[in-house]
Chain A
Amino acid sequence: MNDSTLLTIRDLKVNVADKEILHGLNMTVDAGQTHVIMGPNGAGKSTLGNAIAGAPKYEITAGSITFKGEDITELSPDKRAKAGIYLSFQNPVEVPGITLANFIRTCVEQKTGQRLRIWNFKKDLQATMELLGMDPSYADRDLNVGFSGGEKKKAEILQLLMLKPELAILDETDSGLDIDAVRTVSRGIEHYRKEVGGSLIIITHITRILDGLTVDKTHILSDGRIIAEGGRELVDNVNDKGFDQFINK
């Protein structure tokens, strides 16, 4: 491990409902890097994202996850979040009773331990929503309640930009989005890279979301194992020839 290492995953085995999904996975993400995880359905991509974020349904049975030099394998999700890990959910949950704006404010205050100045926060939130092409009225709507699929994903990116984590895991943030929404979300991700300078793990099927991003490393996941690794060129390769070329080797 060198000074710029942000996340190290060693021999990680993860069970879901007592069935092993990840069979000993290794991966290292440096500060400021963008990693892409691709693979066929059921490969274990979301499992990896959820295990890094600490989802209780994903039981780590062996191996370790180290973040900023600290072993976080046993840490609860909130402590991981406070340490700087963010997961953009594939299916964000609807939470009635708290508005999107109040929720984000609560989370930012929890994270920083400081009360925000409401006026500054509102201005910041509005500008960020504008960047994501979100109607400002969403700020005062209950968190994700009745949001369309696209608005839910935008709301995930909005939280990412407001919380400014050091590592963002995007779990199929592009799935189910129309082409304009994918562009908007990509713009948000670029903004995160430039303004926050954090690292990214992008889990994706399709690759339009990567347009305009520098990809440092691509990992191909199949049946709970990484079966191929490379740079940006691997993404294009998958786009041309699919996953079979790796799996059938």
Chain B
Amino acid sequence: MKEKTHIDDINRSIYDFRYENVDEYKVESGLTPEIVKQISEEKSDPEWMAEFRLKSLEIFNSIPMTKAGPSIEGLNMDNIVTYVRPNTKMHADWDEVPEEIKETFERLGIPQAERESLAGVGAQFDSELVYHNIKEDVAAQGVIYTDIESALHGPYADMIREHFMKLITPNDHKFAALHGAVWSGGSFVYVPKGVSVEIPLQSYFRLNAPGAGQFEHTLIIVDEGAYLHFIEGCSAPKYNIANLHAGAVELFVGKNAKIRYSTIENWSKNMYNLNTKRALVEEGGSVEWVSGSFGSHVSYLYPMSILNGRGARSEFTGVTFAGKGQDLDTGCKVVLNAPETTSYVNTRSISKDGGINTFRSSVVVTEKAVGSKSAVSCQSLMVDNISRSDTIPAMDIRCADCDVGHEATIGRISDDTVFYLMSRGLSEEEARALIVSGFADNVSKELPLEYAVEMNNLIRLEMVGVIG
């Protein structure tokens, strides 16, 4: 008992399978106007989109590399394949999805989840959606759930043009510009006025090709008084070369509307996850981010809420688990830009086996935000003494009449708790896994049961090395 139990490198086998023979079309690696044009052509972009891509590429080439977070030196854009199209069209019937791809998603439990607990599912394999389906009764309420490419040519084309990359513009940072140039796949969701989608919609992103990038775009518009819960999941098998994920999520939350956006991210540990998420919330509306980050080699992830109307609310609940070789820079940003707006941030981070966690938050309270409230709480757990955890909270308060709070704690697993649990028959690893799962329960309590179970399994996988 005195010597520490050695925990083996985790077995990711349930995520770590891949198919070599998916006969796909891909563009050359690297990034040139020709490649971008090629993507436009592949997708039959409308003219404005083709131009938008090229302009974004120019911006990409003109602005310096993002330096705010951990080093991304291992990422060489010349080696990243920006577009990989699986050799299939998009289907609305699982039976038509090619066998290998279907098997991938089946092993990840996606079709089963759809049958049991979802209102609609989208599944993206590398750069393209291979499956998209929405339950009839939800569609009958006027809810649109489709891939953006189809929507660009359909009745919602104008709505997309009006909103696409207006919240996250190519000028925001290098990877937003890159996204603008090579985005592919993702989802478009529109929930009409007053419609409440009772069960969640889900998109699952799987990056299969080695050395590839995934740049899906998620655009969600929740109209006045409507409600939506959207879930995204992501995973990829491990390769020895860097993969890049630079997606964008734009959420437009109308007056008195509400969206909950949940993510369980488990990219493999060669992934650079440089993702951008942003929500614009109107009067009385609210956005709830629920975020579990487990994978990737390096992450920059700070979902942002802009509270633009009186009484708008944002809640961010997150957990980040950094293990061996992971440098995860996560947190959130919020701008309180109207009276009586509120923001709650509650995050937990767990560091293990030399993993590095940085919690970064930015709270801006403008002059307009009279009577607003902001609370940030972040707790860190260090599983051993070779790991690291930093907290970088920034606040910019320009309003005298507001209530702003911040608290942060860093702790270790208590030996007394481990002994208590072991004295009931749990092994040391089990005891530690249980303590860590308990620590992350701010997120698991917010997730639908199946996802909470998946998250706890991921924690067990990290802590014990097996699925329970």
Check A76–B415 contact: CB distance below 8 A: no
State which of A17-25, A93-101, A222-230 sits at the interface with chain B.
A93-101
Check B420–A81 contact: CB distance below 8 A: no
Return the contact of A81 from the options B415, B423, B444 (Cβ within 8 A): B423
**Binary CB contact string for chain A from 66 to 108 against chain B (1 if under 8 A, 0 otherwise):** 0000000000111011100011010011011110000100110
Whether B1 is near chain A, meaning CB under 8 Å from some CB there, is: yes
- Which residues of chain B have C-beta atoms less than 8 A from A87's C-beta? 423
Whether B375 is near chain A, meaning CB under 8 Å from some CB there, is: no
Check B414–A93 contact: CB distance below 8 A: yes
Check A98–B434 contact: CB distance below 8 A: yes
B412-454 residues with Cβ-Cβ distance < 8 A to A are 414-417, 419-428, 430-431, 434-435, 437-441, 444
Check A54–B423 contact: CB distance below 8 A: yes
Given A78-B427, A98-B434, A98-B438, A93 contacting B2 (CB threshold 8 A): no
Cα(A55)–Cα(B2), bound, Å? 10
B7-66 residues with Cβ-Cβ distance < 8 A to A are none
Cα(A61)–Cα(B323), bound, Å? 36
- Which residues of chain B have C-beta atoms less than 8 A from A107's C-beta? 424-426
Most buried by A among B1, B415, B440: B1
Interface size on A, residues (CB 8 A): 29
Report the minimal beta-carbon distance from A84 to chain B, rounded to whole angstroms: 10
Check B421–A96 contact: CB distance below 8 A: no
Considering only CB atoms, which chain B residue lies closest to A57 in the complex? B415
Report the minimal beta-carbon distance from B438 to chain A, rounded to whole angstroms: 2
Whether A56 is near chain B, meaning CB under 8 Å from some CB there, is: yes
Report the minimal beta-carbon distance from B468 to chain A, rounded to whole angstroms: 9
Check A96–B420 contact: CB distance below 8 A: no
Given A92-B420, A95-B420, A96-B441, A77 contacting B434 (CB threshold 8 A): no
Check A163–B424 contact: CB distance below 8 A: yes
Return the contact of B425 from the options A55, A97, A110 (Cβ within 8 A): A110
Considering only CB atoms, which chain B residue lies closest to A96 in the complex? B438
Cα(A92)–Cα(B439), bound, Å? 18
Check A76–B435 contact: CB distance below 8 A: no
- Which residues of chain B have C-beta atoms less than 8 A from A111's C-beta? 425
Check A54–B1 contact: CB distance below 8 A: yes
Check B422–A97 contact: CB distance below 8 A: no
- Which residues of chain A have C-beta atoms less than 8 A from B431's C-beta? 78
Report the minimal beta-carbon distance from B331 to chain A, rounded to whole angstroms: 22
Cα(A191)–Cα(B1), bound, Å? 33
Check A56–B419 contact: CB distance below 8 A: yes
- Which residues of chain A have C-beta atoms less than 8 A from B422's C-beta? 54, 76-78, 81
- Which residues of chain A have C-beta atoms less than 8 A from B428's C-beta? 76, 78
Report the minimal beta-carbon distance from A134 to chain B, rounded to whole angstroms: 18
- Which residues of chain B have C-beta atoms less than 8 A from A159's C-beta? 424
Check A77–B439 contact: CB distance below 8 A: no
Cα(A57)–Cα(B438), bound, Å? 24
**Binary CB contact string for chain A from 190 to 210 against chain B (1 if under 8 A, 0 otherwise):** 000000000000000000000
Check B421–A95 contact: CB distance below 8 A: yes
Report the minimal beta-carbon distance from B464 to chain A, rounded to whole angstroms: 13
Return the contact of B417 from the options A53, A78, A95, A142 (Cβ within 8 A): A95
Report the minimal beta-carbon distance from A64 to chain B, rounded to whole angstroms: 16
Check B438–A56 contact: CB distance below 8 A: no
- Which residues of chain B have C-beta atoms less than 8 A from A82's C-beta? 425
Return the contact of A97 from the options B427, B430, B441 (Cβ within 8 A): B441
Check A97–B440 contact: CB distance below 8 A: yes
B251-296 residues with Cβ-Cβ distance < 8 A to A are none
Check B426–A93 contact: CB distance below 8 A: no
Given A76-B1, A110-B430, A95 contacting B438 (CB threshold 8 A): yes
Check A95–B423 contact: CB distance below 8 A: no
Cα(A89)–Cα(B424), bound, Å? 11
Given A56-B1, A76-B1, A97 contacting B439 (CB threshold 8 A): yes
**Binary CB contact string for chain A from 108 to 120 against chain B (1 if under 8 A, 0 otherwise):** 0011000000000
Cα(A98)–Cα(B430), bound, Å? 13
Considering only CB atoms, which chain B residue lies closest to A91 in the complex? B416
Given A76-B1, A77-B1, A95 contacting B435 (CB threshold 8 A): yes
Check B419–A77 contact: CB distance below 8 A: yes
Most buried by A among B2, B425, B441: B425
Report the minimal beta-carbon distance from B430 to chain A, rounded to whole angstroms: 7
Considering only CB atoms, which chain A residue lies closest to B436 in the complex? A97
- Which residues of chain B have C-beta atoms less than 8 A from A110's C-beta? 424-426, 430
Cα(A92)–Cα(B434), bound, Å? 16
Check B417–A93 contact: CB distance below 8 A: yes
- Which residues of chain B have C-beta atoms less than 8 A from A57's C-beta? 415, 419
Return the contact of A56 from the options B2, B425, B427, B444 (Cβ within 8 A): B2
- Which residues of chain A have C-beta atoms less than 8 A from B420's C-beta? 89, 92-93, 95
Return the contact of A93 from the options B416, B437, B444 (Cβ within 8 A): B416
Cα(A82)–Cα(B427), bound, Å? 10
Cα(A55)–Cα(B438), bound, Å? 22
Considering only CB atoms, which chain A residue lies closest to B2 in the complex? A56
Report the minimal beta-carbon distance from A116 to chain B, rounded to whole angstroms: 14
Check B423–A142 contact: CB distance below 8 A: no
- Which residues of chain B have C-beta atoms less than 8 A from A78's C-beta? 422-423, 425-428, 430-431
Report the minimal beta-carbon distance from B16 to chain A, rounded to whole angstroms: 27
Cα(A95)–Cα(B423), bound, Å? 14
Given A93-B417, A95-B434, A81 contacting B441 (CB threshold 8 A): no
- Which residues of chain A have C-beta atoms less than 8 A from B441's C-beta? 96-97
Cα(A56)–Cα(B444), bound, Å? 31
**Binary CB contact string for chain A from 31 to 71 against chain B (1 if under 8 A, 0 otherwise):** 00000000000000000000001111101000000000000
Most buried by B among A78, A82, A142: A78
Most buried by A among B426, B428, B430, B431: B426
- Which residues of chain A have C-beta atoms less than 8 A from B2's C-beta? 56, 59
- Which residues of chain B have C-beta atoms less than 8 A from A96's C-beta? 438-439, 441
Known: A55-B423, A59-B2, A77-B423. 6 other contacts (CB 8 A): A56-B2, A77-B1, A82-B425, A89-B420, A89-B423, A95-B421
Chain B: residues with CB nearer than 8 A to chain A?
1-2, 414-417, 419-428, 430-431, 434-435, 437-441, 444
**Lowest 6 A-B CB distances belong to which pairs?**
A97-B438, A97-B441, A81-B425, A77-B422, A93-B420, A78-B422
Sample of 21 A–B contacts (CB below 8 Å): A53-B423, A55-B423, A57-B415, A57-B419, A76-B427, A76-B428, A77-B422, A81-B424, A81-B425, A82-B425, A92-B420, A93-B414, A93-B416, A95-B420, A95-B438, A96-B441, A97-B434, A97-B435, A97-B440, A107-B425, A142-B438
